[in-house]
Amino acid sequence: MSLSKNEKELLRRLGLGKENAKPTKEIIRGLPITERGARDILRRLAIKYSIPITGLRNKATNGLFIATTQTELLEGVTSLINQISEEQKRVTALANSDPKKSRELIKELLE
């Protein structure tokens, strides 16, 4: 198994356990990659190697971490399911939208 330099460094910088969660900006500080690039790399590592990389965005925890307990893993999975649900609402709204009616609605809203 061979990881790129950036993959190795991102993996090293991830905290173990949610008490060591770090925002993506903090994880990538000093690295030649963007936040989106880092999230893509971490997503690939999680999928390819089944590393329990997860994240939470709430008052108590805000950031990414490697889950070390089943409870942390379930919290991360629940958070991801909620995110998927919200994105599905957006997909449905876009699929059902009418560009012409939307332009008219925007004009009304901006009056």
For 28-83, how does the pLDDT look when each residue is reduced to its tens digit (9 = 90+)?
A: 999 999 999 999 999 999 999 999 999 988 877 789 999 999 999 999 999 999 99
Sequence-ordered alpha helix ranges (H) in 24-97:
24-28, 35-49, 70-95
What does the pLDDT average to over 3-21? 94
Q: 23: pLDDT confidence band, cut at 50, 70 and 90?
A: very high
Helix then strand then coil, in percent of the chain rounded to 5, is: 65, 10, 25
Residue 97: band (very low, low, confident or very high) from pLDDT cuts 50, 70, 90? very high
27 burial (CB, 10 Å; 0-12 / 13-18 / 19+) is buried
